[in-house]
Amino acid sequence: MKKELIELQINGRSYELAIEPSKLLLDTLRQDLQLTGSKRGCDDSSCGACTVLEDGIPMLSCTMLAASCEGQEITTIEGVSEHGSLAAIQKAYGDWGGAQCGFCTPGFIMTVKHLLAENPEPTEDEIRNALSGNLCRCTGYSQMYQAIKAAIDAEQKGSAAVSAAR
């Protein structure tokens, strides 16, 4: 298949790429842009390891054509860290055992980012429902809930500190 030129907005940068129109966003990220943080865990859109945010909405990048993402802002796990250091949710996942082998972690973190953006104080049931599209085979999910709660606390403390400083 002939390649075509497309332009993608990823993590705040724009990239011009020549790719086949049939190429998936996941493969484009991993192979053409070396953004290998998004993972492929399945053949049938069942695992969520490839989750990215498209204009803030979590999407399975293995189900989207890269060419169809022109004009949207894509955020991958590589775009989550803030100012070169871990975001609260990333740190919390490490501290609380939310990541064991870590293969599912990028997908989960993208999902959680969206959850917290929509609903800053989710109940445990809401967390469970939000995470149910992502599979993890190591953790049994429990420690992820602790991590998410810790991240919420850290964010709140952080913003409290910011407003106190003002």
Torsional class of 102: left (φ above 0), alpha (ψ -120 to 50), beta (otherwise): left
The Cα–Cα gap between 100 and 45 comes to 22
Residue 16 carries which DSSP code? E
Q: Which of 32, 33, 91, 155 binds other proteins (CB under 8 A)?
A: 91
Site for ligand FES in 69-108 (CB under 6 A): 99-105
| Residue 96 DSSP SS3 | coil
Q: How many residues does the chain have?
A: 166
Binding mask 46-85 for other proteins (x = CB under 8 A): xx-x--------------------------xxx-xx---x
Question: Considering the rule CB under 6 A, would residue 111 count as an interface residue with ligand FES?
Answer: no
| # chain residues binding ligand FES, by CB under 6 A | 22
2-10, 53-61, 66-74, 129-137 -> range binding other proteins (CB under 8 A): 129-137
Q: Which positions ≥6 away from 108 have C-beta within 8 Å? A: 48, 51, 93, 98, 131, 134, 136, 144
Distance in Å, CB of 155 to ligand FES, minimum:
23
Q: Which of 55, 118, 119, 137 binds other proteins (CB under 8 A)?
A: 137
Alpha-carbon distances of 89 from 92, 96, 110, rounded to whole Å = 5, 10, 10
Residue 82 carries which DSSP code? B
Question: Considering the rule CB under 6 A, would residue 109 count as an interface residue with ligand FES?
Answer: no
Q: Which residues bind ligand FES (CB under 6 A)?
A: 40-42, 45-50, 60, 62, 99-105, 136-139
